[in-house]
Amino acid sequence: MTLVPLLLQTKPLLPNSAPEIAWVALFYLVVCAGIAVWAVRRTRDTRDYFLAGRGVGLWALAIAAMASALSGFGFIGGPGLVYAIGLGAVFIVLPASITGSMTAWVLAKRMRLLGEVRGLLTIPDALGARYRSPGLQGLAACAILIAIVGYAATNFLALGFIVDAVFHTGLANGIWIGAGLILAYTAPGGMLAGVYTDVFQGSVKAIASAAVFITALQSGGGMRRIAETISSNDPGWFEPWGNRPAVAALSLFFVFGLGALGQPHVLHKFYMLKDARRLKWYPLLMTGAMLLALLLYVGVGFAVKAAVARGDLAALGRPDDATPTFLLRFASPLLAGIVFSGVTAAIMSTVNSFLNVGAAAVTHDLPIALGRTVTRELLIGRLVTVALTLAGVLLALKSGVLIALLGIFGWGLFASTLVPALALGLCWPGATRLGAIASVSVGLVVTLLGETLVWSKRLLLPAGVTASGLALLLSLLTFLAVSWLTRADAASDLDPDIRLIMER
Amino acid sequence: MNRDRRSGLICLTTGVILVGVAYAATWAAAAPQLAAWAMVIGIALQIAGITVVGGTRSNRPNHLVLIAALFLGTVIVVGFGAALLLPPESASAGPYLLGLPRRAAIVLLGVGILPFLVLPFLYAADFDTDGLDEASLARFREECRVLRESGTEGGAR
């Protein structure tokens, strides 16, 4: 089986009938536009464009990392999944209390120092530097690019649904408007605009989520009442694994826990931190912000399930209706407007980071892999951002099987291609270039092949085994085994300055 | 190789193999309880192992990272293990813990929240800010440049 399609918002939302929601959403977009204009005027070179000028503070870094890590799924698909399968769905976000600290220990300081010493711009850059391999840098850039185009397309589609639901524009117009809004600040302002809009968007997410959580608890008469109501109506729902086998829930924890170490749109923000000493409190701020923003994920799923069990709500036609239904039934129009803005924020901040990472892969990493030099990198970067947006929009407009198939590659590809080679490779001097190339290749092939076979129903996986999980597992095994077999090359695959950074 | 780093790698590798065992058992539709336990212990070993590998610097032992890894491994094994071992709750009689059925509470609060109250502070205590100010970083950049130029002549990059 594959659980990744559940991460995608590919169905229309319930339409909004309250004008307040549209006004709040409009206000949100105006603030975003203001921040973008401010940032665009400060974007002068590729360092500004791809790395926000390496001048980002700790709060901005932590909130922007949270904002780009948490897509619209956390607000729409996630609560729907909780409603549908119970506590098992929480295992997607359960590792959030661990991943911030784990990522900091494994990657934060090393990435920041790598950026400092080598002037790196991208995640594939780090792989190229670590293993002295432009070829590996190109391979990783290809994997990232495949993942990003599909992922961005699904997010454009989701944004189209939201714009349509709030402003009644029709889906196609909603996609174009949503993509246009993101492009308006991403293409000219790059990551400088992206980070500071992310800070605003992340704050909106966290505030909206906390407010909805309180409303959700109140609507159900407190957590104990909610739990009793659900348990008497559907005893399996509040089992620790929900209505699924234990291995299925645990498998999610494995993929989303370890996979967090391979998300380029989050990790490359470490390059941007102005003062490396501030990393000390990164896990506290990032994890705190993330947990706050995830309250809605759990709260709405619980509250809607309890409301349906009590008979206050009719059973949902589709799980994805959980959040819109809850907002229209239990929240004030103002809060509903803030949450819809939060969903929009979640999508925009994720897509913005994707586009930036994708543009860097095309303008920076692939030319290095091919031994070419790109002049006027800033201009080309902007043009590639436009091209990637157009590719994503066209895929989103096509909708259907193609987009969902491309979308499901995203998360799994990041995890299986980057976790072993990047996360483990940057702290294990014994890792080798061949191990990294083999691991990225296995991750790429197994994810693409596995997800395609599962999607086309030519491969039936049992509950608990996912194509993404298999790809991550095989990629890790390959990395460890090939590095061990070629361990004689380890020392020559590692520049002395990189070794020094690994030991700091 | 540093002893802590080697131990971390062994934990990680064992964890990866155990997750593989869990997947194989699930695929073969055999011993679901064994698969679940293999997955729990495998995940705990992986996460503890990679934290040790990542948190180990130079050749000195790092007690705070070892404590963090031990804490992580324990939280995961105890939290998920309790969910596997404890008897089911009843809707009316519970037992309930902080408003949640006991096993759900152990998973949600024990694994989902507790690490947040501990790990960031261990990380902050472990974080060495020495050598990260502007002047030290400039010296470090220069040191790295010299090292690179002396060590990579004729290299691939």
**pLDDT by residue for chain A (504 residues), tens digit each?**
444 444 444 555 555 566 777 788 788 878 877 877 887 777 777 777 776 667 788 888 888 888 878 776 777 778 888 888 889 889 989 999 999 999 999 999 899 888 888 888 889 999 999 999 999 999 999 999 888 887 888 888 878 877 887 778 887 888 888 888 888 777 777 777 778 878 887 888 888 888 889 988 888 888 888 988 888 888 888 888 988 888 989 998 998 999 999 988 889 888 888 888 888 999 999 999 999 988 988 888 889 889 888 888 888 877 777 887 888 788 888 888 888 777 777 787 778 878 888 888 898 899 998 888 877 777 888 888 899 999 888 887 875 555 555 556 677 889 999 999 999 999 999 999 999 999 999 999 999 898 888 878 888 888 778 888 999 999 999 999 999 999 888 888 788 888 888 887
Q: Give the closest of B51, B91, B150 to A228, CB-based.
A: B91
What are the b/e assignments for A253-282, b being 16+ CB within 10 Å? bbbbbbbbbbbbbbbbbbbbbebbbbbbbb
Per the CB < 8 A criterion, the answer to whether B91 and A235 are in contact is yes
In Å, how far is A161's CA from the nearest CA of chain B?
31
DSSP conformation class of A13: P
Cα dihedral A339, A341, A344, A346 in deg (nearest 10): -60
Q: Please name the residue that has the structure tokens 């729902």.
A: A237
Backbone angles phi, psi at A463, to 5 degrees: -55, 125
ipTM of this complex? 0.91
- 3-state class (DSSP) for residue A168: coil
Q: How many CB atoms lie within 10 A of CB B59?
A: 11
d(CA A354, CA A357): 5
| Distance from C-alpha of A440 to C-alpha of A427, rounded to nearest angstrom | 17
| Contacts B156 to A, Cβ<8 Å | 132-134
DSSP category for residue A365: I
Would you call A201 helix, strand, or coil by DSSP?
helix
Kindly determine whether residue A496 and residue B80, on different chains, have CB atoms separated by under 8 Å.
Answer: no
Sign of CA dihedral A344, A466, A418, A142: negative
Say if residues A282 and A62 touch (Cβ distance below 8 Å): yes
Residue A78, classed as helix, strand or coil, is helix
Residue of A nearest to B108 (CA): A94
| Partner residue facing A105 (CB), from B12, B22, B55 | B55
Strand, coil or helix: B100: strand
Residue of chain B whose Cα is closest to the Cα of A100: B120
Residue spans of alpha helices (H) in A221-332: 223-233, 246-258, 264-267, 282-293, 295-310, 322-330
Choose among A57, A28, A52, A25: nearest CA to A40.
Answer: A52
Report which of A140, A93, A97 is spatially closest to residue A437, judged by C-alpha positions: A140
The confidence score (pLDDT) of residue A2 equals: 41
Closest-CA distance of chain A to residue B101, Å: 7
Q: Please tell me whether the peptide bond between A79 and the residue prior to it is cis, using omega within 30 degrees of 0.
A: no
Q: Which two tokens stand for residue A55?
A: 């001048």
User: B83: which chain A residues are within 8 Å (Cβ-Cβ)?
Assistant: 240-241, 246
Q: Can you say how many angstroms the Cα of residue A243 is from the centroid of all Cα atoms in its chain?
A: 26
Contacts of A246 in chain B (CB under 8 A): 32, 35-36, 39, 83-84
The span from the CA of A328 to the CA of A330, in Å, is: 6
Phi-psi region of A57 (alpha: psi -120 to 50; beta: other; left: phi over 0): beta
**Angle in degrees, 0-180, between the axes of helices A333-360 and A19-40, rounded to the nearest 10:** 30
Q: Is B49 on the interface with A (CB under 8 A)?
A: no
The residues in B 50-109 lying below 8 A from A, measured between CB atoms, are 50-51, 53-58, 65, 68, 72, 80, 83-84, 88-92, 96, 98-101, 103-104, 106-108
